[in-house]
Amino acid sequence: MILIEDSITNDVHQNCVNELDKKISEDCWQSSSVNWDAGTRQGIVGSCIFTSTSDNIQKLLEKELKSSLPECRELICKYYIWQPHSGIAWHNDEASNRLFGATLYLNEEWYPNNGGWFIWEDDDGYHTILPKKKLLVINDNYQNHCVTPVSIDFRCTIQIWGNG
């Protein structure tokens, strides 16, 4: 895993948050309970909802993160709202034509008792991080990872996939 703090400017972060706030009331959301396979939902009782970013936000992120992300032919960016009891079971982001997966954290603050911890495993063992505003986590080696269930509040992220 590659961790990059302050990966985007405050202006780009605010643009993302503003768009997410507008999209909340739109009829454009999908649910992990319906769209994710049984393996990634194992042990998770809540639902995460997600929708695509606008082309404008996608372009801002591509420009802002170009030097941080591995090279790819196509970026896919989606807003995720991790509702209470949502999370994701152990998985590695590997998919046909996918070169990497990444998470960009949007919440201004996130508290340890809110759940939603990101855990991954590598040769050195297990590692855990708490979501932090503008932190970018890049999984470029298909490392196993999970998100513990959110207990309260909404954990907001942009999930980014790079396709070859």
pLDDT digits (tens, 9 = 90+) for 1-20: 999 999 999 999 999 999 99
pLDDT the model gives residue 94: 84
pLDDT top residue among 115 and 43? 115
pLDDT, averaged across the chain: 95
| Whether residue 113 has pLDDT greater than 90 | yes
| Model pLDDT for residues 85-104, shown as the tens digit of each residue | 999 999 998 888 899 999 99
Give how far Cα 161 sits from Cα of 26, 44, 69, 93, 110, Å: 23, 23, 10, 9, 24
Long-range contacts of 118-124 (CB under 8 A, 24+ apart): 118/145, 118/146, 118/147, 119/145, 119/146, 119/147, 119/148, 120/1, 120/144, 120/145, 120/146, 121/145, 122/1
Angle (CA) 162 126 65, round 5°: 25
| Model pLDDT for residues 142-162, shown as the tens digit of each residue | 999 999 999 999 999 999 999
